[in-house]
Amino acid sequence: MANLLSMQCSASLRKFGSLKYLRTAALVIDKRNYSSKNGSSAEYLHQSVVPSMHYQKSLPRLPIPKLEDSIRRYLAAQRPLLDDDQFRTTEKLAEDFQSGVGKQLHEELVAQDKNNKHTSYISGPWFDMYLSARDSVVLNFNPFMSFNPDPKTEYNDQLVRGTNMVCSAVRFMKTLRAGLLEPEVFHLNPAKSDTDGFKKLIRWVPSSLSWYGAYMVNAYPLDMSQYFRLFNSTRIPKHGRDELFTDEKGRHLLVMRQGNMYAFDVVDRDGNLVNPAEIQSHLKYILSDSTPAPAFPLGVLTSENRDVWAGLRDKLLAAGNGEALQIVDSALFCLCLDDESMRDHSHIAHNMLHGDGCNRWYDKSFSIILTKDGQASINFEHSWGNGVTVLRFQNEIFKDTTEKPLVNPGSAAAAVDSASAVRRLQFNLDSELENGILKAKENFHAAVSKLTIDAMEFKKGGKEQLKKSKLSPDAIAQLAFQMGFLRQYGKTVTTYESCSTAAFRHGRTETIRPATIHTKRCAHAFVCQPGQHSVEQLLAMLSECSKYHGQLIKEAAMGQGFDRHLFSLQYLANSKGQALHSWYNDPAYVTINHNILFTSTLTSPAINLGGFAPVVPDGFGVGYSVHDNWIMCTVSSYPARNVHEFLQCVHKSLEDIFTVLEGKPIS
């Protein structure tokens, strides 16, 4: 029976992918109702009829693509980046790899995967890739996602919003750990599957078969294996390879202000949320604390090179700071209270992505950052999980704090002894540690001073008009980036777009390669030959770009890209000490992994903007969202690129595209 269902579901997943399911499910989380029933208890966000991890055991496994398919897709992605001679060389190397070493490595990878059915073939190598990286997590790995303001402006007060966010985060944690958090499910037909009747039925289906039961009504559960790392978790620096630490016994919150570190319990001994008025009192105490900023703020060490930080942490432990570090590492999460108010989108992006280096603990699984004027954001350490998990948390927090806040602007803080309840952490520092902190501050400021971030809002069209024109909104946004870069720099370059593979057990991400022969042809027509093509011809090119990009999305979401497969083969060869095939040293292979346009999208009612730094010195980091009637981009660059000019070029490209969609010629 299970084998028959598995065969049926394999076919369904192929169909399912054609609906661009995962793109919608993972990144546009604005139309789902998570709550099965609202609990009367203030302890929980809601109380799901279906247990949180009910579908986990029966999730389909992430497929390993056929080697010939990965090579074909790789060559297709290389075609717009290479001239004819370069392409022939790369094609020959790919053929040699496919018939020789690549074939052997692929067979070993498949055999290894069959012996590890509890996980995915990418999970281990991906953790290893992140944790073995020695670069600072700041700019290189940690992204940010900022909250929209509370619609009720008086609730954006720093103390009120901070208290409500802490309470909602604890409620989320308790809901998750009680198994009452609604499972992450994408409903293609919510009238059938997102109903009390179906949920009451599916809860009785054994977890080993529950995914198939959901499939029968066109509902598709997503992997939730990363959720346990959300709370009480920290990345610990170690020489050579870091470790992830989680201690679910921790009941306290870590708070940072002016580089000082504080801790107090937000969960009582019985496992209940501490009275919100008491939490408010404790935060008020911290906000009014007159302790000066430390001359040697410990948090900046988490921005250091990982081996340097590992050595300094060893010295911290040797100096008797083990208990204080344990409090930091085991805290539920970190709340960063900044004394600064934000001026504009660019200021918000800089503050939430890196800040001043002193009022952050970048190694925590996530930190909620709250500025003096109530702007809020999440900055998260990336090794333990992906944006899909954090976005679910962020959506729930925004919904809970705006719809069911536990304190309000008129709430009085509890009359409690916060001076006793709140502990300000003290650290013993010798001259070597003090010098290490000063050096870390120098390195931090040298790195962030090179970063420029700018934002752009295109207000002349969005998702609605694109869908009426039967065009993929994501495809058009990506095409605008191709056109913008061509307009600014006169060429097509390597482009990376992240896509979640959470439809599979222990899935992480796959890469979409948006620079194609179709976008290259279309961008050239719009930018270099604007008067040489009719509106009808330009519309046909837009349609071709949209169709092909839709195919790339489908393949990536279904685990049928090429990047993770080829990465895993290389990882396997390295783990065996095997010399790499010359294909991996091909300049074209090196270039396609030097991602000049590094892009990621998300759209949610909770999110104002999100962003990250470029992944290469001569690149752009492009965060974007396509809304119903407008398009938002937050772009970062180092001095090798001009981010302001790039955004002007992207804006011009969008103007041209929407002009053509209106049936008007461009000039």
Give catalytic residues, as residue numbers.
Answer: 382
> What is the sign of the dihedral through the CA atoms of 398, 403, 404 and 408?
positive
CA gyration radius for the chain?
25
Task: Specify whether the CB–CB gap between 36 and 196 falls below 8 A.
Answer: yes
Name residue 59's amino acid: L
Question: Which of these, 290, 285, 292, 279, lies nearest to 253 by C-alpha position?
Answer: 279
Gap between the Cα atoms of 288 and 397, Å rounded: 26
* Measured CA angle at 127 (ends 122, 132), to 5 deg: 130
With tokens 């074939």, the residue in question is: 103
Gap between the Cα atoms of 500 and 556, Å rounded: 8
* Measured CA angle at 22 (ends 636, 168), to 5 deg: 70
- Structure-block tokens of residue 505: 């057990």
Residue 70 has φ and ψ, to the nearest 5°, of -65, -40
3-class SS at 594?
Answer: coil
The count of other CB atoms within 10 Å of the CB of residue 374 is: 21
| Residues facing residue 505 across a β-bridge | 61
Task: Specify whether the CB–CB gap between 406 and 167 falls below 8 A.
Answer: yes
Gap between the Cα atoms of 169 and 273, Å rounded: 10
The count of other CB atoms within 10 Å of the CB of residue 108 is: 14
Gap between the Cα atoms of 150 and 376, Å rounded: 10
* Mode of pairing for the β-strands spanning 509-512 and 495-500: antiparallel
Question: Which of these, 578, 553, 449, lies nearest to 497 by C-alpha position?
Answer: 553
3-class SS at 662?
Answer: coil
- Structure-block tokens of residue 326: 């344990």
Task: Specify whether the CB–CB gap between 451 and 354 falls below 8 A.
Answer: yes
- Structure-block tokens of residue 401: 């704090």
Gap between the Cα atoms of 386 and 390, Å rounded: 7
Q: Find the helix packing angle between 535-557 and 473-489, rounded to 10°.
A: 110
* Measured CA angle at 402 (ends 625, 162), to 5 deg: 95
Residue 483 has φ and ψ, to the nearest 5°, of -65, -40
Name residue 481's amino acid: F
Task: Specify whether the CB–CB gap between 457 and 630 falls below 8 A.
Answer: yes
